[in-house]
Structure 1
């Protein structure tokens, strides 16, 4: 046992003795008084017996008594003696959900928790961190701490294989003079992805608004100048300005719809909706548009279509977007088929609605991204068809709120099929 441990033991014993003395001081006083009384009143020989009795009083007074106060004092002593020091460092590291690596003064791994192993592969004791992490920023912070240039350093570290990840890395010394250091990785990938999405969204929205504004501004300038007295040009320019204004209005409406949906993504609708009625209403409202595009909308509905939980207006918006897109972008096929299948005749026990067109189809590499905001396969065609680039993003958000999902199947030259899946309640 070390000298420090013996000193700590003596200190605890002294404090516990003092506590017991204070707790039993009245009993001690009574014992001493009894001994004095017997000594003064009796002949010489009985005082030996009195001394024995007094000694018993002292022993009884100082004997451990399991009172609440004593248990509290003992608990405090255990806590003050450094109970955390007894905990296993491996258990502490395992309790950290972020990747954590402990290394020594030579830069060799001493311990890595499960999160670090899952993130960076095997990190056996003895592996040199400078060989494991070769990025310049990682080399710099490890060396700075090892060589005593700083007690703690922080940097950003990114990996692109197997997937792109970004970490905020902190390296610091463990205590003072221990010779050990700890490296903690805080995953920033999701935060960076959201920041990038926000920046892309602002850039795309600004671009989409700037184009019609520039067009309107140019025509206003022309009407005030060279075309001031040209009635034919004036009518033509005013028509173009009206179209551009309508385009901006559609874009703003879609942005507002998307914003409202993002504010309530987890609020599950509680009303019951007649799905067949919603889809039939959409088809009836878009029949004139389909006729103008040279498209015939065909219906193929099963008999077992149940009602679903949902918001009627939002579901109308979903199928309006899908059927309208099929009519616009698949018009070369001449027809669009809207089919509905209930859970009784569906292998997945789901209610599904499929909008199938026979147009040029969607290249396979674009399918995973068509629901992203402002993503366009053919930007010029989309603008010609008065698209805002937000329709399928709105569809995805609405379906997520309804616990439903969208699947897309397509083959170049053979059209595309968009299927909405509603889970059985």
Structure 2
């Protein structure tokens, strides 16, 4: 027999099998149809009517058989899905959880720990005694409590090694089947980032309060003096009013910077969509701060290309960035007598970059201070900063603006040689 004949025979056999299955599934409908036809024949109905009734019965058979088959298919699919789900191991699901989870028995011995738990609490394996791994009294109380009464409970737990981590630990009893020993679960929710943010917020409020309290105390003292002993002293009144004016200006600058930070944080998620000529921005900033440089006997040297250099950005915010950097360079690098404002296009690791830098030749910054310069209220020298009317927020504002602009701030400094603040942007793609 040829291959074609074999294939035809197989198809015919398959078709015959399907027909047979359909007949078996519709056997009750077919029996009813045969009975109805027999009754019609016995009653002597005419042939046209007989044909009409036969067609109706055949349609009924065709209608019932597929519906029954579809129901069986749906039933088979449902059974298959349940079978597939039953094959999914609970341990496989637990391994995918991002939070640590530990199962233990009534003796405090580990029955199972998922990957997150094994990574976070090394060494941790089956048969580890929890009381030996977690020695904190609050953890012992949590474990013993849930074993004693099976009531769910939670505590805050601090893990020091290998890194400082804060957790919210929840303990609960698990339903045990017939003949199974009692088991319990510990779930750990990492609270470290939330704690860090709360601490930063508390530090920020404390620093802001301190910065405002100092000038306010000064103002109150001078007001009381003017209302009392210096009431009729014209010279003292003039001197005190000048000091009060400076303290009021200091508070105003601090409040302005705090409001700037708040506005920047509110729109940090909004991407910039405008194109700005950075060469024009730097020239504008240099022109604006030339009177300050002259007053401090400083020279601003410009090394800015004559052609436009485009970046994606908000013009006003970029002006604020470079005004802060250039003003700092003039004030704190005053001993170097000059500041260089430079704009260059470079090839970086991420493609073509645009680098704008402010370089001074002042005393420089010790290396241990460099990583913290953009923190709020951080100062290398508190007295010098206050003498230069600094609020301690200028570089924090710069950092927030550059984050929104997808820019980077690089700080290089050597003690006795000056400092360079470099702002790097990814160059926009050129449209063909």
Which interval holds the TM-score relative to the shorter structure?
0.7 to 0.9
The unaligned stretches of length 5 or more in structure 2 are: 1-24, 40-64
Asked if the contact 1:212–1:245 (Cα under 8 Å) also holds between the matched residues in 2, the reply is yes
Q: What SS does the aligned partner of 2:377 have?
A: coil
Q: Is the 8 A contact 1:343 1:424 kept in 2?
A: no
Among 204, 225, 242, the alignment partner of 2:245 is 242
Q: Which residue of 2 aligns with 1:173?
A: 173
Question: What do you get for the CA RMSD once the two structures are aligned?
Answer: 3.2
Select 1:330's aligned residue among 326, 329, 333: 333
1:200 positional shift? 1.1
TM-score by length of 2: 0.78
Note closer, same or farther for the CA distance 1:158–1:344 as it changes in structure 2 (3 Å cut): closer
Distance in 1, matches of 2:164 and 2:355, equals 35
Instruction: Describe how 1:12-411 pairs up with structure 2 within 5 A.
Output: 30=32, 66-69=68-71, 86-145=87-146, 147-176=147-176, 178=180, 179-302=182-305, 306-343=309-346, 349-411=352-414
Shift of 1:150: 3.8
Supply the distance in 2 between the matched residues of 1:109 and 1:67 (Cα, whole angstroms). 50
Given that 2:353 and 2:427 are in contact with CA atoms closer than 8 Å, whether structure 1 keeps it comes out as yes
Conserved 8 A contact 1:290-1:297: yes
Q: Aligned partners of 1:214 and 1:412: how far apart in 2?
A: 36
Contact 1:273 1:311 in 2 (8 A): yes
In the TM superposition, what whole-angstrom CA distance separates every residue of 1:199-220 from its partner, at most 9, and x where no partner exists? 1111111111111111111111
Q: Residue 304 of structure 1 contacts residue 344 of structure 1 at CA under 8 Å; is this kept in 2?
A: no
Question: Could you tell me how far 1:180 is from its partner in structure 2?
Answer: 2.1
Work out the CA distance in 2 between the residues paired with 1:139 and 1:209. Answer: 46
The alpha-carbon deviation at position 294 of structure 1 amounts to 2.7
Residues in 1 aligned to 2:347 and 2:340: alpha-carbon distance in whole angstroms: 21
Conserved in 2, the CA contact under 8 Å of 1:305 and 1:341?
Answer: no
Deviation per CA, 1:37-91: give whole Å up to 9, x if none.
9xxxxxxxxxxxxxxxxxxxxxxxxx99844445556777788x89865531211
Aligned-pair CA distance for 1:276: 0.8
Displacement, 1:190? 0.9
CA distance in 1, matches of 2:171, 2:190: 15
Equivalent pair of 2:176/2:183 in contact (CA under 8 Å)? no
